[in-house]
């Protein structure tokens, strides 16, 4: 009986997700809000990756956006004419430019980002709490500063100007950056990207769920709860921490690759400290260590600021005839208030992970049913 109820819930949720762009079209919201939904899905992938480090292993990481940048710049290098225009020897080897498919770059981005995760994790194994947060914050800023300044003496990243003309995502020869007629229905680029990102998020959720229920996932939880006790039980905490950093970073690298191909332009301004804080806030506000909660946090903290951006100023003009609070200020206030309220009234997040005794009760009820 319980399984049938769960199946019905998942089926209903799946239909709602698939019909969301259609509903937006019926309501006349246009492709703007579909594009916001695309960004929400990208942020959900990032938040799920950070949840491995922060939620499962209990390691506070404030430099997670660095792995996002690594994946994005790899796509910028390998899927745009930038390097061939800057280096003659590369142009001689690839006269038509480097245009490697994003699907070939994605595994490379995941592996390279995982390497950077190990590079970050290795010197920080003995650090905890605030000290770990400060070191990871510094790592994220170092990566951004490198990307911002590696335009001289050799122009590798094009500095603050960024890399443009990145190839879009293609599937079976179909370019997702343009609209297509499918069964006589014109489907916009934003909608095509939406369905692609939905599939990717489902894959990430599946992988995270399998990892959480694995021996490695249980070892991470043991380290998070009490590292000394975990060591006493024979868990190799060094190996497990490095694995958490590497796996979490690989998710960030893959998300960065998707972001670069989706935007077709990247610059260091997309990878500032604020982005790391936003991603961490999604994990904390949604529910640390709980996959559905992290997804909820990603949706709330992506859609609500945009909703405020589009409504705060018009409402003030209607009521007061002028604007007292700008949309960007309201966005910042929303983040601050959301964090304060969650910390005061929902310390485990909006959708916290079920307690052990709750899981036991549910298991006993399902057995009786």
What are all long-range contacts of 117-121, with beta carbons under 8 Å and residues at least 24 apart? 117/67, 117/242, 117/245, 117/246, 117/247, 117/248, 117/249, 117/250, 118/242, 118/245, 118/246, 118/249, 120/63, 120/66, 120/245, 120/249, 121/241, 121/242, 121/244, 121/245, 121/246
Task: Find where tokens 């914050």 sit.
Answer: 137
Q: What residue numbers bound the domain in which 304 lies?
A: 2-368
Mean confidence (pLDDT) of the chain: 87
Q: What is the pLDDT of residues 100-110, one digit of tens each?
A: 999 999 999 99
Q: CA-to-CA distance for 268 and 263, rounded, in angstroms?
A: 14
* Per-residue pLDDT, 361: 45
Which phi-psi region, left, alpha or beta, contains residue 313 (left: φ > 0; alpha: ψ -120 to 50)? Answer: alpha
Q: Is the pLDDT of residue 337 over 70?
A: yes
Whether the predicted pLDDT of 37 surpasses 50: yes
Per-residue pLDDT, averaged over 41-48, amounts to 95
Instruction: Give 321 or 254, the one with higher predicted confidence.
Output: 254
pLDDT class for 365, splitting at 50, 70, 90? low
pLDDT at 27 over 80: no
Mean per-residue pLDDT for 307-312?
A: 81
Predicted confidence (pLDDT) at residue 351 exceeds the cutoff of 90: no
For residue 118, pLDDT beyond 80? yes
- Would you state the structure tokens that stand for residue 104, as one six-digit string? 């070939």
pLDDT at 40 over 90: yes
Q: For the segment 198-244, what is each residue's pLDDT rounded down to a tens digit?
A: 999 999 999 999 999 899 999 999 999 888 899 998 999 999 999 99
Confidence (pLDDT) at 28: 73
Residue 356: is its pLDDT beyond 70? no
Number of domains in the chain: 1
pLDDT tier at 3 (50, 70, 90 boundaries)?
low
Least confident piece of the model among 46-60, 66-80, 350-364:
350-364
Read off the pLDDT of residues 65-86 as tens digits, 9 standing for 90 and up: 999 999 999 999 999 999 998 8
Rounded to an integer, the average pLDDT of 1-18 is 74
Task: Assign 330 a pLDDT band (cuts: 50, 70, 90).
Answer: confident
Whether residue 357 is predicted with pLDDT greater than 60 in this model: the reply is: no
pLDDT of residue 355: 67
**Preceding amide of 153 cis, omega within 30:** yes
327 compared with 139, residue with greater pLDDT: 139
Q: Are 143 and 271 in contact (CB under 8 A)?
A: yes
């Amino acid at each position: 009986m319980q399984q049938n109820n769960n199946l019905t819930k998942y089926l209903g949720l799946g239909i709602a997700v698939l019909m969301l762009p259609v509903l937006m079209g019926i309501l006349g919201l246009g492709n703007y809000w579909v594009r916001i939904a695309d960004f929400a899905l990208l942020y959900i992938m990032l938040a799920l990756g950070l949840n491995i480090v922060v939620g499962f292993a209990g390691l506070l990481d404030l430099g997670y956006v660095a792995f996002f940048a690594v994946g994005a710049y790899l796509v910028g290098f390998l899927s745009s004419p930038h390097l061939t225009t800057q280096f003659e020897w590369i142009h001689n080897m690839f006269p038509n430019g480097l245009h490697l498919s994003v699907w070939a770059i994605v595994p490379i981005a995941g592996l390279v980002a995982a390497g950077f995760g190990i590079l970050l994790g290795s010197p920080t194994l003995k650090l905890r709490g605030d000290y770990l947060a400060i070191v990871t914050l510094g790592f994220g800023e170092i990566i951004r500063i490198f990307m911002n300044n590696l335009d001289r003496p050799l122009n590798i990243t094009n500095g603050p100007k960024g890399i443009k003309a990145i190839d879009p995502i293609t599937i079976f020869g179909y370019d997702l950056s343009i609209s297509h007629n499918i069964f006589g229905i014109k489907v916009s680029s934003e909608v095509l990207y939406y369905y692609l990102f939905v599939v990717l998020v489902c894959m990430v959720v599946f992988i995270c769920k399998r990892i959480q229920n694995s021996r490695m996932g249980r070892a991470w939880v043991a380290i998070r709860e009490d590292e000394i006790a975990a060591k006493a039980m024979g868990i190799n905490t060094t190996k497990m921490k490095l694995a958490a950093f590497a796996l979490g970073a690989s998710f960030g690298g893959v998300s960065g690759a998707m972001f670069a191909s989706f935007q077709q332009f990247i610059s260091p301004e997309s990878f500032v400290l604020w982005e790391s804080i936003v991603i961490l806030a999604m994990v904390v506000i949604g529910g640390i260590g709980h996959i559905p909660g992290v997804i909820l946090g990603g949706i709330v903290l992506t859609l609500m600021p945009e909703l405020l951006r589009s409504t705060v100023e018009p409402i003030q003009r209607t009521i007061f005839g002028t604007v007292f609070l700008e949309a960007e200020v309201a966005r910042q206030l929303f983040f601050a208030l959301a964090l304060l309220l969650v910390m005061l009234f929902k310390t485990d997040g909006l959708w916290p992970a079920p307690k052990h005794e709750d899981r036991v009760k549910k298991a006993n009820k399902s057995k009786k049913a």
